Amino acid sequence: MDSVKERSVDEVVSTILGKYNQRHHLMRILQEVQSNYGYLPREALEKISQSTGIPLSDIINVATFYHQYRLEIPGYYIFLVCMGTACHLKGNQDNYNVLRNTLGIKKGNTSSDGLVSVEKARCFGCCSLAPVMMVVSRDGCERYLHGNVDIKETKKLALTYRSMASKKVRSGE
Amino acid sequence: MVKLYINNKEVQVEAASTLLDAIVRAGFKVPTLCYLKDMFNEATCRVCIVELSGGRLVPSCSYPASEGLRVLTDSERVLKYRRAIVEMILASHKIKCQSCSMKGGYCQLLKLSKEFGVEGIPVCAECPLYGSECLLNLGIACLGPVTIAGCDAICTKERSPCIGCRGPASPDDVLEEGIKTFIKYKINIDEVVGISELFWGSNPLTQTIRKLFTNLHEGGRV
Amino acid sequence: MAEWTLMDRCCDKCWHTVEYPCKHFIRCTVEGPLCHESAECRVKRKRRIEELKYGKYGIKIKVPISSCTLAAGAKEVYDAVSKEVLSSGLNADITISGCMGLCYLDPWIELSKKGLPTAIYVNVKPGDVPKILKEYLSGDLSNAFALRADPEGIYKNYKVPLLNDLTLWSNQVRFVSRGCGVLNPESIEDYIISNGFRGLDKILNMHPKNVIEFVKKSGLRGRGGAGFPTWMKWEIAQSQVSDIKYFIVNADEGDPGAFMNRLLAESDPYRVIEGMIIGAYAVGASKGYIFVRAEKPLMADRLSKAVEEIRKYGLLGRNILGSGFSFDIEVILSAGAFVCGEETALISAIEGRTRPRQRPPYPATRGLWDKPTVINNVETVAHVATVFQVGVEEFTKYGTEKSKGTKMFCVTGCVSRTGAYEVPIGMSLSKLVYDLAGGPPDGKKVKAVQIGGPSGGCVPSNLLNTPVDYESLQSAGAIMGSGGVVVIDEDSCMVDVAKFFTSFTLAESCGKCFTCRVGMKLLYDILKNITEGKGSEEDLELLNELSDVIIGSSLCALGGTAPNPIKSTLRYFRDEYVAHIKDRKCPAKVCPNLVEYWIDPAKCVGCGLCVKACPTNFITGERGKPHSIDPSKCIRCSQCFITCPQGAVIKR
């Protein structure tokens, strides 16, 4: 993450555009931008539009249509709570509420300290371990899957990841 | 050239034509909304659906005409579904006919909803079709903005104010839009409610109008 | 120097290179050398195959690494195994494998040693690893779950069943999933010694028309949902005249409850790609795309790795094995939208746009960048590869008159043995749910079985003898879909289930055509009213009529199938809807507005936790004495129900 912060949006975007610059690479370009920042900064979208000639409205159309893209900066860790059928039947909605309550998220998806986000996600295909949640770090380097989580486990996970995130942020990562 | 049958009438069109071309060629009519001739056919509005002989419903504006196809443009099923689609479009349409720029008979949606007898739009949508000057503009308390259309604006056409004989327009946002119109033209709301009681009687909607009016007025959203 | 592998030249007499390939390359790797006789080379290959099968030192430990096993902690188990092997100085090969589909057993490990039957240990915890290893190596298999292979028939000495003797295994036909959980998904050699690439080897000498004819003979139908005959799609694309054609594999598995594509591609990616090359050869495509969902990163990784590996050995790229046929594959990460499962939306996504378009023209005539394009599902192409490897007869042996072969089903929800099972098409649902998946745990009753994801329907328990094939399921109001089977027990409310699916499709509707965008919202609002106790009886008629309109006149298959869950629940569970509307009661006690929370005084210990949890502060009671909820003030947030450590809060 450090290296990213030092590099300007311009630099990051031009490196990516050096690899892909066609209209049909748009999805890939946005994915790469997001893997750098954890979300799609407005400046980056504008820069892509200027460099490739794809209208900004088209870029935003794609960025808002697909679920993977975020337009707002998420927390250091992101809880992705699966909302598939099996997970729904086994009570992941309750887990989702518990996560939000435990982390004190009232509005939006991110806790007020900016450490942890909670999002609803599409089926991961781990239905046999329902209910499932995935925790990913903003930079995409860390990825943990948790299966068969109940409410107690959820609470524990929420607190664990919050303290992990605060440690990481404090140590300057 | 391909040969196909529209409502059992034989018609020949060029190979790259759509069903809609063939239908027009055969002398039938199918309503369209999103269709723009010679432009891309997105087929999003679905009102131009027709029935193929297998029972499949397809949008005629983009379905290619092919040899021997049998097409029905107004079977019972087509009409039923088309009506439902128009209802859906109206359900998601912000009805602001009073301030809409499509006045004067250009509104295809209005025509369609009249054709299918779908209710929900106010008299104000029909009134401009006959070129009459808006009575509200003259400060006359006309119930046009809040009354269901379908009367062909028979009163306002004759320069007499609407008295709400067909009942209040149903969706709340239509009512709200209507009341905004009253406020805009500085019509006395007591007068409006007074007239409406003639046909709507003790209908709680008359109270709603008063409430909405006070809210809108005080909320300063005029 | 890197280790010599089967893919390398045996000696200088072999002239095969990627630029000037030998057309017997594939067979030569295993049966070789074919072009010259050399005992040394033959032994070299034989020894390598032995090594791959049993490990260099005769002991092999397999740890499955796939999304589902990782979620159950397979990474920790793998680390524990490595640590144990290192610290005990054991000479053993540790390899990864894919998932065998029995997810309820995750994580499992498989141990094999020459002279001992291969044993599978299940639900392994990292701490158990040293004990398991010690036991197995000393010949004590009593704690194993099952034995996989036992060539010498000595398993009878142990009280452990053979995998093939278990009902959950013997009722399956592992046709397309034969490599899942067996092969190392990151080793091309593993695939090639288990009959891999033999299909490709075969077809490169055939005329494309004969390839299609072969598929026609097998009667293979698309495994992605609608069951369109695969050969027909190929033939249409093959007959088109175009400078370039595309072959796309749809691995954007979005159906909640279905994961067979993920499982296949993660556990046996080479099979998928082989099938894809065969398909491309048949239709004359020169460029292929695999469209993988970004939420399934391991699947994308494995596929990309496999593509690279295959390209490295010249089985992909220009002039494959000297046949004159060129084909290359690019793996594309989908950013995730359910509608991309629809062919035309998938094409839009690859082009960098959004939303489906009206068909016809069908993609087989005008698809990606207006060129003929074939789109097949992962399972379909994996089937193609297997059919060419083992022959048509092996495939047509199974299945029904109209649909041949086998199909993978993912059985999840309220069953004790969740997992992916491959069964002959036409097996009855009850067999799938009870004999294979073990039925609901703790003796509950099955209320319904939901098949086909959000486009499918619910089959009630009294119709469980319905055979699973395309036609029978359709007449029961469901669809085969991609094969997700979610078992619903008595604890679930069918109106809530319908609402869940409607909210799913509502959120996933792309918003292009009116009927789906507005219609689904209207349906959702009606269902929401019903579950909140505000429904009226006319609503049921309206639901039905509106559903018909949406099905009949939507632009793409998403809208055309989205109301299916509502229609099927209305058809079979009308009484539940009526209970919500007339009695204002939710029989399964799921819908929050129709249940009452009540504290059982006999169970309540008065700990006061619920008082703290209650956001409205309407739970009262003295500490240490039974508490009570004021029902008129309760907002039914269920916090007290969740919090209570005694289970004293009861829904009624």
Note the pLDDT tens digit of each residue in C488-514: 988 889 999 999 999 989 988 888 888
Average of pLDDT values for B146-172?
A: 82
Q: Is the pLDDT of residue C150 over 70?
A: no
Which pair of tokens denotes residue B45? 């509005």
C-alpha span between B145 and B96 (Å, rounded): 9
d(CA C366, CA C544): 35
Q: Are residues A145 and A121 part of one domain?
A: yes
Across the interface, do B42 and C358 touch by the CB < 8 Å criterion? yes
Residue C434: count of CB within 10 angstroms of its CB: 17
CA distance to B98, B142, C356, C604, per residue, from B212 (Å): 17, 17, 42, 49
> pLDDT value at position C325?
92
Q: A85 and C413 in contact by Cβ < 8 A? A: yes
**Interval C194-243: pLDDT, tens:** 998 999 999 998 999 999 999 999 999 988 777 889 999 999 999 999 99
Q: Does C361 touch chain B (CB under 8 A)?
A: yes
Is residue B189 predicted with pLDDT exceeding 70? yes
Taking only the tens place, the pLDDT of each residue in B83-133 is 888 888 888 877 777 677 776 567 788 888 878 877 777 888 878 777 677
The predicted structure's pLDDT at residue C203 = 92
Percent of chain B with pLDDT over 70: 91
- Rounded-to-integer distance, Cα B220 and Cα C8, Å: 82
Nearest CB to B88; choose among C358, C514, C548: C514
Q: Does residue A72 lie in a domain region?
A: no
Residue B66: is its pLDDT beyond 80?
A: yes
CATH architecture of C188-395: 3-Layer(aba) Sandwich (3.40)
Residue C469 DSSP SS3: coil
The pLDDT of residue C610 is above 70? yes
Which CATH architecture fits C55-164? 3-Layer(aba) Sandwich (3.40)
**In a domain? residue A126:** yes
Q: CA neighbours within 13 Å on the CB side: how many for C267?
A: 29
Q: Which CATH number describes the domain made up of C494-581?
A: 1.20.1440.230
Tens-place pLDDT, residues C439-492: 888 888 899 999 988 888 899 999 999 999 888 988 888 888 888 898 998 888
Of the candidates C590, C595, C592, C650, the residue with the CA atom closest to the CA atom of residue C627: C650
Chain C partners (3+ C-beta pairs within 8 A):
A, B
B85·C553 Cβ contact <8 A? yes
Residue A50 lies in a domain: yes
Q: Which residue bears the tokens 């929370």?
A: C597
- pLDDT tens string A111-146: 888 889 998 888 887 777 878 898 988 877 788 888
**Are residues A90 and A59 part of one domain?**
no
Instruction: Give tens-digit pLDDT for C532-544.
Output: 888 888 899 999 9
Burial class (CB in 10 A: 0-12, 13-18, 19+), C467: middle
Render pLDDT for C229-257 as a digit per residue (tens, 0 to 9).
Answer: 999 999 999 999 999 999 999 998 878 88
pLDDT band at residue C327 using 50, 70 and 90 as cut-offs? very high
**Hey, what are A143's tokens?**
């990825």
- Please answer yes or no on whether B46 and C515 come within 8 Å at the CB atom: yes
Lowest mean pLDDT among A17-21, C125-129, C155-159: C155-159
Q: A143 and C492 in contact by Cβ < 8 A? A: no
CA distances from residue C337 to B79, B133, C75, C292, C344 in whole angstroms, order as listed: 33, 51, 29, 11, 13
CA angle in degrees (0–180, nearest 5) for B115-B119-B124? 90
Judge whether residue C546 has pLDDT over 50.
yes
Characterize the bridge pairing of strands A116-121 and A133-137. Answer: unpaired
Could you report the per-residue pLDDT of C1-58, keeping only the tens digit for each? Answer: 468 888 888 888 888 888 888 888 888 888 878 888 888 889 989 989 988 888 888 8
Q: Residue C563: what pLDDT?
A: 92
Give the DSSP per-residue string, C585-635.
--TTS-SGGG--EEE-TTT-----HHHHH-TT--EE--TTS--EE-TTT--
Percent residues over pLDDT 70 in chain A = 95
Partner residue facing A68 (CB), from C336, C510, C639: C336
Query: Domain extents for chain B?
Result: 2-84, 120-219
Residue A102 pLDDT greater than 50, yes or no: yes
Say if C and B touch: at least 3 Cβ pairs within 8 Å: yes
Residue C183, both tokens: 């092969």
From CA C63, how far away is CA A72, in angstroms rounded? 39
CA distance B155 to chain C (A): 35
How confident is the model over C88-143, as pLDDT tens digits?
888 888 999 998 888 888 889 999 888 888 889 999 999 999 999 999 888 888 88
Task: Find out whether C53 and C62 touch, Cβ atoms under 8 Å.
Answer: no
Percent of chain C with pLDDT over 90: 41
| B173-194 mean pLDDT | 81
pLDDT digits (tens, 9 = 90+) for B21-32: 999 999 998 998
Please write the tens of the pLDDT for every residue from C347-361: 989 998 888 888 888
**CA dist list (Å): C611 to A152, A155, B180, C641:** 18, 18, 47, 11
SS (H, E, C) C522-576: HHHHHHHHHHCCCCCCHHHHHHHHHHHHHHHHCCCHHHHHCCHHHHHHHHHCHHH
**Which one is predicted more confidently, B3 or A170?**
B3
Least CB–CB distance from B88: residue in C358, C522, C555? C522
* Cα dihedral across residues C582, C501, C355, B23: positive or negative: negative
Which pLDDT belongs to residue C357?
Answer: 85
Is the fold of C188-395 the same as that of C494-581?
no
Architecture of domain C406-489: Roll (3.10)
Whole-number pLDDT of residue A2: 44
How many angstroms away from the CA of C417 is the closest CA of chain A?
Answer: 8
- Return the ∠ at Cα C102 (arms to C97 and C104), rounded to 5°: 115
On whether the CB atoms of residues C274 and C238 are closer than 8 A, the answer is: no
**A99: CATH:** 3.40.30.10
**Among B104-108, C175-179, C428-432, where is mean pLDDT lowest?**
B104-108
Question: What is the reported pLDDT for B150?
Answer: 77
Question: Which residues have CB under 8 Å from C207's CB, separation 6+?
Answer: none
Count the domains in chain A. 2
CA distance A169 to B2: 70
Pick the range with the lowest mean pLDDT from B5-14, C130-139, C150-159, C352-361.
Answer: C150-159
CA distance C208 to C281: 6
Chain C residue numbers touching A132 (CB-CB < 8 A): 71
Q: Does A70 reside within a domain?
A: no
CA distance A89 to chain C (A): 7
A146 lies in which domain range? 77-170
Q: Which residues fall within 8 angstroms of residue C377, CB to CB, at 6 or more apart?
A: C222, C223, C224, C225, C249, C250, C261, C482
Long-range contacts of C145-148 (CB under 8 A, 24+ apart): C145/C105, C145/C108, C145/C119, C145/C120, C145/C121, C146/C119, C146/C120, C147/C117, C147/C118, C147/C119, C147/C120, C148/C110, C148/C112, C148/C117, C148/C118, C148/C119, C148/C120
What is the Cα–Cα distance from C193 to C30, expressed in whole angstroms? Answer: 6
Residue with tokens 């903003």: A138
DSSP string, B43-63: --S-TTEEEETTS-EEETTTS
For the domain spanning C596-651, the CATH number is 3.30.70.20
| DSSP single-letter state for residue B34 | S
Section B124-151 average pLDDT: 81
Whether the CB-CB separation of C540 and B69 falls below 8 Å is answered with no
Burial of B82 (0-12, 13-18, 19+ CB in 10 A): buried
Interface contacts (A, C; CB < 8 Å)? 148
- In a mutational test of the B interface, the residue from C514, C542, C550, C558 whose CB has the highest number of chain B CBs within 10 Å is C514
> C553 at the B interface (CB within 8 A)?
yes
- The domain ranges of chain C are 1-52, 55-164, 188-395, 406-489, 494-581, 596-651
As a whole number of angstroms, the distance between CA A158 and CA A100 comes to: 9
Nearest to B108 by CA among B61, B58, B48: B48
pLDDT at B171: 65
Contact C41, C10 (CB under 8 A): yes
What angle separates helix C269-283 from helix C208-218, to the nearest 10 degrees? 120
Q: Do chains A and B touch (3 or more CB pairs under 8 A)?
A: no
Q: Tokens 């994801």 identify what position?
A: C453
Q: What kind of architecture, by CATH, is found in domain B2-84?
A: Roll (3.10)
Do A136 and A84 share a structural domain? yes
Query: Who has greater pLDDT, C219 or A106?
Result: C219
**pLDDT value of position A173:** 57
- Indicate yes or no: CB of B92 within 8 angstroms of CB of C517: yes
Quickly count: other Cβ atoms within 10 Å of residue C18's Cβ. Answer: 15
- Cα C140 from Cα C117, distance rounded (Å): 11
Question: Hey, are the CB atoms on C332 and A27 less than 8 Å from each other?
Answer: yes
Q: Which of B116, B131, B198, B211 is nearest to B164 (CA)?
A: B198
State the average pLDDT over residues A20-36.
87
